[in-house]
Amino acid sequence: MLENLLKGFIIIVFLNFTLISCSKSEEEEKPLGYLQEESNIPDYDNDPIYSKANPKNLPTYWDIFVESAALYGVDLSDITDVEFISEDLSGGTAGRAIGSCHDYVKIQVDETIFRNLTTGEQIFLMYHELGHDVFNASHDGGGLMAPNVRSIEYTLFQKEVEDFFTGVDYVQWTDEECEFIRELLKTETQ
Ligand SMILES: [Zn+2]
């Protein structure tokens, strides 16, 4: 009699224990799995490089451009003559590369327009303009250097950045084109 009671008690305790441990592990796993899923979707906001871009602090776009280039073995750390100029560009232009075909980097930004762009558009625009100034890259390469500002999906943008820095989508202006650009910039920025 006592033996049976004891057996029953042990079984009950055991069942309870498994039930508790079961529900406990479920509780632990569910929210964790949910959180992991949320933060694992890569986007501009959680990307280790792009998330450092700050539209209210324009030089941060130079910093992330340098970091992106380094990912593909392109070292831009010796370039120090870099300037972002806030300018009313009117006519819907958010940014302009005016250091193209020169040995400096100078980007004009209409901050009123720029700040209203999405994060993806802002980063695309800056990488595009810096592509002109740093590498004298023309629009002919397409991809990152395609001449229209567009909202760009994160994964596609990553591919375009890779193709640019690895030279797949990259065509440099010819000397003649550069001469023309220098003349154009001279008259336009006077
Ligand atoms: Zn352009």
Write out pLDDT tens, residues 8-32: 544 444 444 444 444 444 444 555 5
Distance from the CA of 152 to the center of ligand 1, in angstroms? Answer: 16
Residue type, 156: L
Å from CA of 139 to ligand 1 middle: 6
- 36 or 75: which leads in pLDDT: 75
Same-domain status, 35 and 120: no
Q: How, if at all, do strands 105-109 and 95-97 pair?
A: antiparallel
Same domain, 17 and 90: no
What is the token pair recorded at 184? Answer: 């154009």
Q: How far is residue 22 CA from its own chain's centroid?
A: 42
3-state secondary structure of 88: coil
Query: How remote is the CA of residue 129 from the centroid of ligand 1, in Å?
Result: 6
- Residue 190's pLDDT is 61
Domain count, the chain: 2
- Distance between CA atoms of residues 67 and 55, nearest Å: 17
Q: What is the pLDDT of residue 158?
A: 94
Residue 22 pLDDT: 43
Residues 159 and 118 grouped into a single domain = yes
85 lies in a domain?
yes
Residues 91 and 170 in one domain: yes
Query: How many angstroms separate the alpha carbon of residue 111 from the centre of ligand 1?
Result: 18
Q: From the CA of 170, how far away is ligand 1's center (Å)?
A: 13
Share of residues in the chain with pLDDT > 90 (%) = 67
CA atoms within 13 A on the CB side of 2: 0
User: What pLDDT, on a 0 to 100 scale, did the predictor assign at position 187?
Assistant: 85
Residue written as token pair 């450092």: 52
* One domain for residues 165 and 140: yes
Query: Does residue 21 fall inside a structural domain?
Result: yes
Give me the domain span that covers residue 81.
Answer: 50-188
Together in a domain, 55 and 36: no
**Residue 151 within any structural domain of the chain:** yes
pLDDT at 39: 62
Asked if residue 45 belongs to a domain, the reply is no
Tokens of 75: 């070292």
Same domain as 169, residue 121:
yes
Domain assignment present for 64: yes
Asked if pLDDT for residue 103 goes beyond 80, the answer is yes
Q: Which of 4-13, 91-100, 140-149, 160-169 has the lowest mean pLDDT?
A: 4-13
96 pLDDT more than 60? yes
Residue-level pLDDT at 15: 42
pLDDT of residue 8: 52
Same domain, 182 and 90: yes
Has residue 112 got a pLDDT over 60? yes
Task: Check whether residue 16 and residue 95 sit in a common domain.
Answer: no
CA of 89 to the centre of ligand 1 (A): 15
Going from the Cα of 144 to the center of ligand 1, the distance in angstroms, rounded, reads 9
Average pLDDT over residues 123-141: 95
Q: In what order do the strands lie in the sheet with 95-97?
A: 82-86, 105-109, 95-97
Chain mean pLDDT for the chain: 84
7, part of any domain: yes
Residue 183 inside a domain? The answer is yes
Residues 28 and 60 in one domain: no
pLDDT at 178: 95
Q: What's the 140 CA to ligand 1 centre distance in angstroms?
A: 10
The rounded Cα 68 to chain-centroid distance in angstroms is 8
Residues 21, 114, single domain; the answer is: no
- CB-proximal residues (5 Å) to ion ligand 1: 147
* pLDDT (tens digit per residue) in 147-189: 876 768 999 999 999 999 999 888 999 999 999 999 999 888 7
29 Cα: distance to centroid of ligand 1 (angstroms)? 48
Within this chain, do residues 2 and 87 fall inside the same structural domain, yes or no?
no
